[in-house]
Chains A and B, each alone.
Chain A
């Protein structure tokens, strides 16, 4: 059965810290991996990764995919209180239009 596992489940840090969120997956046919940020209600798109070893970067956030080891990491440097959210990882298999989501990592950043 296809599945996505995120770790840790929750994380509490202070402003300025650097955090690494993990996403491992098992899918029969991999097409892409996506990261979303969910602050209150609507998840918002962060990154889509399809190729192994190529880092996607947006400001203080960056992500990389390892297709051999079947995982991705999301890094956030110099965290701010506005980074507090649930970060969702999803994988899209190539043989279906059904995204498979992990349960998310809840990040809390305190001043």
Chain B
């Protein structure tokens, strides 16, 4: 099992550009999450999904979009990148509601810089 895989690991964007952060998991988890973490701060929930075709906003959804067409994939799209979106982005999955403890499994993170 690869677990949760995020790509790319690093990316530099210019203001106004768009990009997609990819996240895939091979654990057949229903729940998937996107968080951002600014330097020295805690994690903020951007979007989450409880299964294919279902997504919900988290604490800081503005400037982002997500889709969940399959159980495995949960891409995060940044439209019109702004310097305020410079952050480390973490994707996570969880077997919540599948008879488990609900542990979150995180990817290694994607470090994004917007200049």
| A, B in one complex | no
On B, residues with C-beta under 8 Å from A are: none
On A, residues with C-beta under 8 Å from B are: none
